[in-house]
Structure formats: C-alpha cells, structure tokens
C-alpha cells in the first residue's frame, strides 16, 4: 500500500474516532465571502442535522451577500434545521444583503458593535458600451426569438419597457426579502420597509433597529449557547462537505479509487455521511 494512501486512511480513522470520543457539541457553519453556490453549505447543514452529538448550531457569517436564490436556499435549510436544533447567528465583519438574509434563519442574531449589517435591497447592473463601439465603427448584430430575449444587452441602450420589466423582477425579490424579515424579526412590515432602502448599519445601529438581538463576539456567543443548551463545556464541531469523499478533499485520487473499490466489493461500509 502506498505511503500517501496509508496516511489518508489513518487521518480518516483518527478524525472518525476522535469525533466519537467527544460529548455534545456546538456545530459551527462558516459562511465566508460572496454567496454564489449553495450546494456545499447545504451538504454541511445536512451533516449538522444528522450528527447526533450536535446539540445546537452557530452560523458564523462574514459575507457581503450574493445570489438571492442561493441565499434563500441556505436560509430555508437552516430554518428546517432550526425546527430540530436551536440555530444562532454570529456576525464577524459583515452580514449584508444575502448575508443578512441567511442570518434571519437563526433564533438569535449577534454581531460586534462595528459589524456592518443590512443592505436590505436588490440590485442589477447593466453595462452600455454602444457609444464606445460606435466610435470604433463596430456594431453588434443580434438575432433573437422573443422580443425580450436580449434584455440587458450591453451593445444597445435599454428601452423603458425593458427597464420596467427588470424593475418588476427586482421589486418581487425585494418583497420576498422584506417578508422574511417581517416573519423572523420583531418588526412590522411598515418598519421593515422604512429600513429596507439598501442602507447599511453598524452592529450597534442594527441592534437599535431590532435587526439583531445583541452585541457579542464569537466566543461570547459560544459561551451563551453553552449555557442555554445546558452543555458542561463548549466543544465545537465544524462539518465537512458530506458529498465529497475525504480522500478527494485531500486531492488523493488513488486513495479515493482504492476506497471506492472496497465499497463496490462490499468489504467496508463507510459512514453514510462520508459518502
């Protein structure tokens, strides 16, 4: 057996058995950067749901936002998880737009006084380079079926009808965002709409506006959860992407193929969460 394969198997066994030795834990889901692809985070949420030793979940957010649909998917998955285990949110530097949308899934949201929050709005930008192309003697020819198929075409000015169509789409997504806040924060729709103009808030301003529940750092939130859930001590558990084999995450293709062959022959049965 090759040295890399032996090392990979030992690492997996060590991680598996060390986890079994632990008692109740607080699962930590880290959401970093722009939210574009939700699949990996959804897999981790599934792991947190299935892991019996996880008594509560802390979502650690440091994100300026991202795709509306991806943020909604993560929000929905965390809400479903929250029906089984308490979910808390802790904001690092920023939880704006989609980052704040995700935070709404928690029963309690905490941030630092200087954290940047909110940006409750939706934006779509389109670049118009038609004049520059005209000066160069260039022209883009477009063939389409459906008059709005090339809506947002950067090689021509946008028509008023197209602008209205896109505004309607953005307004609908904005209304969905506002609805999520109304359902999950102690605010009326009128109060939320007054705040939902795209502005950002510091953590201290967000607390005053009832967008969050308190001003605490990560370690303080961990201590709070430990007390509320009734744990003797804080043991943190960071889930991995359950749809990727550990060996693949380490970049060891040979080890991955080796284990796959064992699974095919029925010689070993890996934990379903590691498949």
> Which residues are marked as active site?
97, 149
Helices 160-184 and 68-82, interaxial angle, to 10°? 20
The alpha carbon of residue 236 and the mean position of all alpha carbons in its chain are separated, in whole angstroms, by: 19
Rounded to whole angstroms, the Cα distance separating 176 from 119 reads 14
Beta-carbon neighbour count of residue 199 at 10 Å?
Answer: 12
* Residue 23 near residue 44, CB atoms below 8 Å: no
Half-sphere exposure of 150 (CA within 13 A, CB side): 13
Rounded to whole angstroms, the Cα distance separating 80 from 50 reads 12
Task: Kindly state the tokens that stand for 216.
Answer: 């605490």
């Amino acid at each position: 057996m090759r040295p890399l394969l032996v090392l990979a198997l030992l690492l997996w066994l060590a991680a598996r058995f060390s986890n079994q030795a632990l008692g109740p834990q607080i699962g930590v889901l880290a959401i970093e950067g722009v939210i574009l692809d939700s699949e990996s985070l959804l897999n981790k949420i599934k792991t947190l749901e299935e892991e019996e030793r996880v008594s509560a979940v802390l979502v650690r957010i440091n994100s300026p936002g991202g795709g509306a649909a991806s943020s909604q998917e993560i929000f929905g998955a965390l809400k479903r998880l929250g029906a089984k285990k308490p979910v808390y949110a802790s904001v690092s530097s920023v939880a704006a737009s989609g980052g704040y949308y995700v935070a709404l899934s928690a029963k309690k949201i905490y941030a630092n006084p200087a954290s940047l929050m909110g940006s409750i709005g939706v934006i779509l930008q389109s670049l118009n380079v038609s004049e520059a192309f005209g000066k160069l003697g260039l022209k883009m020819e477009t063939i389409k079926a459906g008059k709005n198929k090339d809506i947002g075409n950067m090689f021509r000015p946008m028509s008023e009808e197209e602008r209205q169509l896109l505004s309607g789409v953005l307004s609908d997504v904005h209304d969905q965002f506002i609805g999520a806040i109304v359902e999950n924060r102690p605010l009326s729709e009128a109060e939320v709409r007054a705040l939902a103009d795209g502005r950002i808030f510091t953590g201290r301003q967000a607390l005053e506006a009832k967008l969050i529940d308190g001003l605490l750092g990560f370690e303080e939130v961990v201590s709070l959860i430990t007390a509320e859930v009734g744990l003797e001590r804080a043991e943190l558990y960071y889930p991995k992407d359950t749809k990727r084999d550990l060996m693949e995450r380490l970049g060891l293709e040979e080890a991955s193929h080796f284990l796959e062959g064992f699974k095919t022959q029925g010689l070993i049965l890996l934990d379903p969460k590691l498949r």
